[in-house]
Amino acid sequence: MKIGIGFDVHRMEKNRKLILGGVTIPHEKGLAGHSDADVLVHAIMDALLGAAGLGDIGHHFPDQDEAYKNADSIKLMKHVNNLINQRSLMVSNLDAVVMAQNPKLAPHLPMMAKRIGEALETDVNSINIKATTTEKLGFVGREEGMAAQAVVLLKEFDTPLS
C-alpha cells in the first residue's frame, strides 16, 4: 500500500467556466489557470503521482506547455491513472475536499465522484468527495479562489490491467 496527499489552489475569474471534479457548475465565475483549472482533479492527480513516487502535475503537465492550454483535467487524470497502472498500482481509496464559499457544491458531489471514479477505473464507492466553506475567512471566504486537498491509498496488483 502507498499513500499520497495532494493540494491545489486556483483564483476565481470572470468569463471562465467553473469545472470541479470534471463537472461544469453554473456560477458567475470560474477558476483561472492554464488548463481548465479543475482544482479538485489537480489535487487528486498530485496525490496519485505522489503515492506512486512520480513527482507532481507540474512535472508531467507544465503550464508553459501549450499542449495543456485549456486541457480537460479529467483526460489528464486518465493519463496519470495509466502511469500508476504501469507501476502495478491502482486506487484503493480516495478522500478529497473542496474548499469553496460559493456556489454550494453538495448537489454536484455525486456526479463528481462518478466522473472521477470512471477516470480512475475505480468503483465509485472507493471515492469520497466533500465540500466545505471557510466560514467567510481568507481568500476562499472572500470568494477570491478555491482550494482542494486529496488523500489517496494505492494498492498493488499482480496481473496487468487491460
Quick one: pLDDT band at residue 154, thresholds 50, 70, 90? very high
To the question of domain 2-156 being in CATH 3.20.20.10, the answer is no
CB distance 18 to 25 below 8 Å: yes
pLDDT digits (tens, 9 = 90+) for 21-50: 999 999 999 999 999 999 999 999 999 999
> Span 57-62, mean pLDDT?
90
Helix residue ranges per DSSP H, the chain: 39-51, 57-60, 73-86, 109-119, 138-141
The structural domains of the chain, with segments of one domain joined by +, span: 2-156
Quick one: pLDDT band at residue 162, thresholds 50, 70, 90? low
0.85 exceeded by pTM: yes
What is the end-to-end Cα distance of the chain in Å, rounded?
A: 21
- Name the grid cell of 43: 489535487
Relative to beta strand 89-99, strand 127-132 is parallel
pLDDT of residue 87: 95
Angle at 158 between CA 154 and CA 159, to 5 degrees: 115
3-class SS of residue 145: strand
